[in-house]
Amino acid sequence: MSALGNDLVDKRLQGDASIRAKKYLNQDYENLRSQCQKQRKLFCDPHFPAEPRSLGLNELGPDSVKTKGVEWKRPGELCSKPQFIIGGATRADICQGNLGDCWLMAAIASLTLEKDLLARVIYPEQNFTDKYAGIFHFQLWQYGEWVDVVVDDRLPTRKGKLLFVKSAAENEFWSPLLEKAYAKVNGCYENLIGGFSSEAHEDFTGGIAECYTLRKAPVNLFNIIKKALSRGSLLSTSISASAEEKEAVTKECLVKTHAYSITDAKQVQVCKSPVELVRLRNPWGHMEWSGAWSDRSKEWDQVSPEDKAKLVYSADDGEFWMTYADYIQRYSKLEICNLTPDTPCDDNLGCWNSSQFEGAWKVGTTAGGCCNFPAKFCTNPQFRVKLDTDSQCDKQCSVLVALMQKDARQAKQKGFKGYSIGFYIYKVPDKYKGKPDVCLLPDDLRRPVAKSDFVKMREVCQRFNLPLGEYVIVPATFESNQEANFLLRVFSEK
């Protein structure tokens, strides 16, 4: 194993004390591998078989042109000496295949920048030699808990080539096996078509995601990006466009409605003046920005050889630099996944206080809908939190509230597109202080001190600055009588 691979193993072992992963579908990796070795056979996963239903039902269904000629093959059938990781897991190992999951690819590319986070997810000590039995496993965060996901190594191929994600090195397989594990927890590969990188960022870290609209970018956003990268946060970005312009390429070779990773942010000196630069990566592994500060642009002639070497600017690998000014003019949205207290990363431990609640909207009891339904609104679940961390020494608490509906992606192939969800925040009236089991009544729910937008996404997350004190959070679907399970998370910044 490479030195970098060994480093990943060391980081994983150091973090084992904090890792308490549940066995997904009760599949125990060690027991299954041991059974296969005793029986001298390779593992075949009964829960995610090498069959058409694991690909999908509609766009990747059995009768789809996109799945014609697909064969499931193990890495040993595709090359003579397959390896799990070659020279360390890097961004170059993620080249998107024939699946519309650029959002997932961008998230995996960001994950490779943080070796301790990556080590938790991929078990880098895995290989195709020592005790090989055709079985691999990965650790993913799913709705409030870490799960250990087992897969066999049969991968969808056509004409001897991987159908979906692949590495630049044809005999390296950690990235397609991770994609398969993610497809398994989401029901099938087809369910990975279309999404937001923040969703996968959270599933790789247990983190909490924020979104910035770049046309309304705060004046200090470049510094926010630098700080987020230094903390190990995962960043992705995209250009909004109409459905007709999906993946349309601009004259400067930027792809619309396509998820890019942000992998670095630096300031360089040009003629004694500072220039702010950001580095982005296209998960396709090619198709790079062709404007100022692109790989072979004249702007690099003004940079010292030392800065050029540090910035690694000339490789044709889908990664490129551009000025921060050009970035916010051309891109539409930035997603930052903040790491949470249990993240195995030295600089991030202790950044947050956190609370987590699980609940459900049930028709006839707790599915009250938004405040447009005053007769039912008070039946929604209520959760009480105490904000007592003075984040900026101004008797205010900086708090992130995130509401996530469960299992919406798994139901995509059945036509379910999820509900519009949101939440309201109320100050606890004095008469209820010290009475944690008392719910607010309709008269108490007339004026929230804060509220989220309602969005049809897996999660809605917003940041607020609130005076110290006790609050009640009321999560809701926009319409009443809509059933779903949900996870509510509250993070206050220290």
Q: What CATH number is given for 352-493 in this structure?
A: 2.60.120.380
CB burial of residue 114 (10 Å; 0-12, 13-18, 19+)? buried
In percent, the amount of the chain with pLDDT more than 90 equals: 61
What residue segments make up the domains of the chain, in order of their start? 3-194, 208-338, 352-493
Residues 6+ apart with CB under 8 A from 489: 144, 208, 354, 355, 356, 357, 400, 401, 402, 404
Q: Kindly report the number of other CB atoms within 10 A of residue 42's CB atom.
A: 16
**Is residue 186 annotated as part of the catalytic site, yes or no?**
no
Whether the predicted pLDDT of 305 surpasses 90:
no
Residue among 258, 337, 370, 378 flagged as catalytic? 258
Eight-state DSSP code of residue 394: S
Kindly name the residue from 95, 186, 188, 282 that is annotated as catalytic. Answer: 282
Told to judge if 47 belongs to the known catalytic residues of this protein, a careful annotator would answer no
Nearest-angstrom CA–CA distance, 28 and 19: 16
Give the pLDDT band (50/70/90) at residue 16: very low
Q: Could you confirm whether 258 is annotated as catalytic?
A: yes
pLDDT in tens, 246-289: 788 999 999 998 889 999 999 988 888 899 999 998 888 888 99
The 10s digit of each residue's pLDDT in 129-151 is: 999 999 999 999 999 999 999 99
Residue type at 247?
Answer: E
Identify which has the larger pLDDT, 388 or 174: 174
Residues with Cβ within 8 Å of 306's Cβ and at least 6 positions away in sequence, in order, are: none
Q: Where are the beta strands (DSSP E) in 285-408?
A: 319-323, 333-338, 352-361, 383-387, 396-405
> What's this model's pTM, rounded to 2 decimal places?
0.82
Looking at domain 208-338, its CATH architecture is: Alpha-Beta Complex (3.90)
Which position has the token pair 């059945």?
Answer: 414
Over its C-alpha atoms, the chain yields an Rg (Å, rounded) of 24
